[in-house]
């Protein structure tokens, strides 16, 4: 009887313990099942191959390589204006005319005097050769003739200057006079600008000097035309560094303006100094940076695994992968912030 009396509490305690353990194991199993059912939605991309470039970028205002301020070389009244702002002109083309009557009269007078002195010079030359006049008389006649010939040439030149011509080919960007205006010597009449080529002047930090070379490809985008990209090249590099700014001057020519670029436009210039061909690339959005390390999540069999990588050049959307990934591997581009190593994922985009 004593044995039975003490055994019942032991069996009861054991039963309670077993029941509690069974309940706990059941709850753990339910929690585990819930965790296994958590699937993270992600977007993915594939490791691809292509060309990627390294470049130096800076801003600049477009300038005309050639432009000329056309001035009047003689004084007079503007009789005719043949071009307007925006007109295309060629080098040597007549663009305005100054009243020339006075200059024609001066030329005729100079020519008449020249003819008279030429005859006197020829007569004295013959007499001098026959020793009928002194050397002094002959030399005076010669000096007067040569002096008048210079005066004649000047009068002829002034008459020619009444016709105002463009010194360069380009576009009339400004007109400063009207028909009937009196203009003086060296007064501005027109401004002619050559739009081809246009150039951008960059002031590049000296530590970039070893990378920049003449002839390197350049790309230009202007604020006025955000969807257009214009090709160019490095035309000149200054051999000296400005001691005050620590920069050197680089001149970039715009090779193709598509006839829509204009001097004064503000643009962003990229000088491509190296290109790696057929290299591995992934979208920049796939990269996770922590301290100095970079990593990505790679998807395999609906699981995401974290991998450390080394990167190289970067362009607008892609980044070069030097180590850590193989061709064709799938990387997470959106949603990696919610992932842990070996997380289950659901891909919501198509490659």
Spatial separation of the C-alpha atoms in residues 312 and 287, rounded to whole Å: 12
Return the CATH fold of 101-161: Helix Hairpins (1.10.287)
Spatial separation of the C-alpha atoms in residues 205 and 184, rounded to whole Å: 46
Q: 56-63+194-275: what CATH class?
A: mainly beta
pLDDT given at position 256: 84
Return the CATH fold of 70-98+163-191: OB fold (Dihydrolipoamide Acetyltransferase, E2P) (2.40.50)
Residues 320 and 279 sit within 8 Å (Cβ to Cβ)? yes
CA dihedral 73, 78, 84, 90 (to 10 degrees): -40
101-129 helix and 135-161 helix, angle to the nearest 10 degrees = 160
Residues 52 and 320 sit within 8 Å (Cβ to Cβ)? yes
Spatial separation of the C-alpha atoms in residues 35 and 113, rounded to whole Å: 115
Beta-bridged to residue 76, according to DSSP, are 183
pLDDT given at position 1: 39
Spatial separation of the C-alpha atoms in residues 99 and 136, rounded to whole Å: 43
pLDDT given at position 52: 92
pLDDT given at position 25: 52
Spatial separation of the C-alpha atoms in residues 216 and 274, rounded to whole Å: 9
Closest by CA position to 312, among listed 286, 333, 285, 281: 281
Closest by CA position to 58, among listed 287, 221, 225: 221
Residues 148 and 174 sit within 8 Å (Cβ to Cβ)? no
Q: Look-up: residue for tokens 């009047």?
A: 72
Same fold for the pair 56-63+194-275 and 101-161: no
Residues 6+ apart with CB under 8 A from 63: 198, 199, 200, 201, 263
Altogether, the residues listed in the chain come to a count of: 351
Residues 304 and 298 sit within 8 Å (Cβ to Cβ)? yes
Residues 6+ apart with CB under 8 A from 311: 287, 294, 319, 320, 321, 322
Name the residue ranges covered by the structural domains of the chain: 40-52+277-347, 56-63+194-275, 70-98+163-191, 101-161
At 89, phi and psi to the nearest 5? -130, 155
Longest CA–CA separation in the chain, Å: 182
Instruction: Give mean pLDDT in consecutive 10-residue pieces for the chain, a chain of 351 residues.
Output: 42 43 49 61 94 92 93 96 94 96 96 95 91 90 95 96 95 95 96 92 94 94 91 95 95 90 92 93 93 92 94 90 94 92 90 73
Convert 286-305 to b/e letters by CB count within 10 Å (16 or more is b): bbbeeeeebbbbbbeeeebe
Please determine, looking at this structure, whether the domain spanning 40-52+277-347 carries the CATH number 2.40.420.20. yes
pLDDT given at position 37: 53
Closest by CA position to 230, among listed 184, 193, 203, 195: 195
pLDDT given at position 195: 87
Beta strands 288-290; 318-323: pairing state: unpaired
The structure's pTM equals 0.65
Per DSSP (E only), the strands in the chain are 40-46, 48-72, 76-81, 88-89, 94-98, 163-165, 170-175, 182-183, 187-205, 217-222, 225-237, 247-254, 266-283, 288-290, 293-300, 303-314, 318-323, 330-334, 343-347
């Amino acid at each position: 009887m004593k044995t039975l009396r003490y055994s019942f509490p032991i069996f009861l305690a054991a039963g309670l313990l077993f029941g509690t353990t069974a309940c706990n194991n059941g709850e753990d199993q339910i929690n585990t099942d819930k965790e296994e059912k958590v699937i993270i939605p992600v977007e993915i991309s594939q490791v691809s191959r292509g060309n990627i470039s390294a470049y130096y970028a800076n801003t600049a205002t477009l300038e005309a390589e050639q432009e000329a301020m056309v001035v009047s070389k003689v004084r007079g009244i503007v009789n005719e204006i043949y071009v307007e702002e925006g007109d295309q002109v060629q080098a040597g083309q007549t663009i305005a005319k100054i009243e020339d009557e006075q200059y024609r009269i001066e030329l005729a007078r100079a020519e008449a005097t020249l003819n008279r002195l030429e005859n006197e010079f020829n007569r004295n030359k013959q007499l001098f050769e026959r020793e009928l006049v002194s050397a002094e008389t002959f030399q005076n006649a010669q000096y007067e003739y040569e002096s008048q010939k210079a005066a004649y040439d000047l009068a002829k030149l002034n008459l020619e200057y009444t016709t105002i011509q463009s010194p360069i080919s380009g576009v009339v960007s400004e007109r400063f006079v009207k028909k009937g205006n009196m203009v003086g010597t060296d007064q501005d009449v027109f401004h002619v600008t050559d739009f081809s080529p246009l150039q951008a002047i960059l002031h590049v930090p000296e530590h970039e000097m070893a990378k920049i070379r003449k002839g390197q490809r350049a790309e230009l985008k202007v604020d006025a035309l955000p969807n257009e990209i214009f090709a160019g090249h490095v035309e000149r590099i200054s051999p000296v560094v400005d001691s005050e700014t620590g920069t050197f001057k680089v001149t970039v020519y715009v090779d193709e303006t598509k006839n829509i670029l204009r001097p004064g436009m503000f643009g962003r210039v990229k000088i491509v100094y190296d290109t790696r061909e057929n290299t591995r690339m992934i979208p920049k959005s796939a990269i996770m940076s922590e301290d100095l390390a970079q990593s990505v999540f790679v998807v395999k069999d609906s699981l995401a695994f974290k991998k450390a990588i080394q990167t190289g050049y970067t362009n607008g959307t892609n980044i070069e992968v030097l180590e850590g990934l193989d061709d064709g591997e799938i990387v997470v581009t959106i949603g990696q912030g919610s992932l842990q190593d070996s997380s289950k994922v659901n891909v919501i985009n198509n490659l």
